[in-house]
Chains A and B, each alone.
Chain A
Amino acid sequence: MSAAGLPLETPRSARTRSRTNFELYSWLFMRVSGLVLIFLVLGHLFIMNILDGGVQRINFAFVAGRWSSPFWQVWDLLMLWLAQLHGGNGLRTIINDYAERDSTRLLLKAVLYASVVLILFTGTLVIFTFDPNIG
């Protein structure tokens, strides 16, 4: 394997020239966001699935209790954004690697970006407008 010029961001794709450093920042973002997500997501999974009875104790009142604290609001908001951007960027790489026709790539990425926007919008809206006295 030659050391120079192997495009690690899309290891299955043909080499192309690019005028920007977007893929460099994308590669760096995956490592930095991944490091933060290790604490946020593994902490979330531990609290929700393992600690103190796990998923059996979760209901509306449990969520209301957590989101009464700005600490957990910020935790969940940060986790939502980092996980969506990290996962969306990962799926973008996978699409670039395996979808060989231009039209297929375009369609799959359009669906991907639409779902990322939908989830970020819905999740952010819910965290900011949560009402413990609803219904």
Chain B
Amino acid sequence: MRDAPAAPRVPAGTLYRGREGMWSWVAQRITGALTFFFLFAHVLDTALVRVSPAAYDSVIATYKNPVVNLLEVGLVGAVLYHALNGLRVTAVDFWAKGPRYQRQMLWAIVVIWLLVMVPGVYFMLEHTVATLFGSSS
């Protein structure tokens, strides 16, 4: 009896396969972990409403700073990717054809992400851009 064809070899000690499947998973971990760390700070800064209106307003002023405003755009982009890719992962798990179309679904969510982020970034940065570069008050 002949041996069955050998299974494709992977580098010892790793399951990483590269391409869309791996990188979307890596990005899911990174965006998830970053959002978790932000949430830790965000619940604590919001808790200042229990201290005094002035304390809360002064910490919220940080969010209105142009540099922090840019970081918020990054946060929204990270959370939106995490949400869309989470839907894709759920489809891979529960939809019979999900695994076959996982790559097409990734490019679909990338397109949706861009379509949402372009107007989203415009409205998020409108005030900052007007303040920094605008001539009107």
Contact = CB atoms under 8 A, between A and B. Distances in A.
Given A58-B63, A87-B35, A94-B29, A31 B90 contact: yes
Residue of B7, B32, B54 contacting most chain A CB atoms (<10 Å):
B32
Contact of A54 (B47, B87, B123): B123
A122 B86 contact: no
Interface string B33-65: 101100110011011011111101100100110
Interface stretch (A17-25, A42-50, A102-110): A42-50
Given A50-B124, A60-B53, A60-B56, A2 B7 contact: yes
A130 B50 contact: yes
A34 B93 CA distance: 14
Contacts of A38: 83, 86-87
B75 to A, nearest CB: 8
A115 B40 contact: yes
B15 interface: yes
A87 B57 contact: no
Contacts of A69: none
Given A49-B72, A55-B69, A87 B127 contact: no
A14 to B, nearest CB: 10
Contacts of A2: 7
Contacts of B50: 125-126, 129-131, 134
Nearest to B63: A55
A125 B43 CA distance: 11
B24 to A, nearest CB: 14
A4 interface: no
Contact of A135 (B54, B89, B94, B126): B54
B106 interface: no
A123 B72 contact: no
Contacts of B127: 53-54, 56
Contacts of B87: 35, 38
